[in-house]
Amino acid sequence: MLANNSPALRSGLPAAAALIGWILLSFSAALPGAWFMPGSWYFALNKPSWNPPGFLFGPVWSTLYTLMGIAAWLVWKRGGSSAQKRPLTLFLLQLALNALWTPLFFGAHLIGPALAEITLLWLAIAATIAAFLPVSRTAAALLLPYLLWVSFAAFLNFTLWNLNR
């Protein structure tokens, strides 16, 4: 539960509403996908045999965004945004980088720059995990599946870049 001097309690913001807010914020990184969807360009790319089927991405990302929101909320609960400025700023940075990859890859068809960007995303996730760890080990652990999935996605992006240049 929140500490008695928590900014969230002073403002009257219930913890459950804050949790929903952090989860919705995490899901906002998926919004570019509504405008930049895989199309004929993507389907025409040479892909490795281990490329995941399209139906897998929705459930995987839904799970990851939910875990990300819970992780940010757990950190936020430890004193609010002002007390956790660095970890939550890193969280927001990695979230922005997450949202940027889709327009680069699916929108602009820039496989190489998307690979560079997903590398920055991976580093930002790792930095966020490191910043979350002293605040909440659980929050840091909740981001590990995300880091693993982005590791896989980065390797896939690298493979697509090599197969299609």
Residue 107 maps to a domain: yes
Residue 68 maps to a domain: yes
- Range in 5-19, 57-71, 146-160 with the lowest mean pLDDT: 5-19
Residue 79's pLDDT is 85
Q: Helices (DSSP H) in 110-143: which residue ranges?
A: 111-132, 137-142
Residue 127: alpha-carbon gap to chain centroid: 13
CA distances from 121 to 26, 133, 134, 164 (A): 14, 18, 21, 22
The position carrying tokens 């459950």 is: 16
Residue 152 maps to a domain: yes
Residue 1's pLDDT is 44
CATH of residue 49: 1.20.1260.100
Residue 1 maps to a domain: no
Residue 143 maps to a domain: yes
> The pTM is what?
0.89
In the chain, the number of structural domains is: 1
Q: How many CB atoms lie within 10 A of CB 129?
A: 22
Residue 137 maps to a domain: yes
Residue 81 maps to a domain: yes
Residue 89 maps to a domain: yes
pLDDT surpassing 90 at residue 150: yes
Range of the domain at 136: 7-163
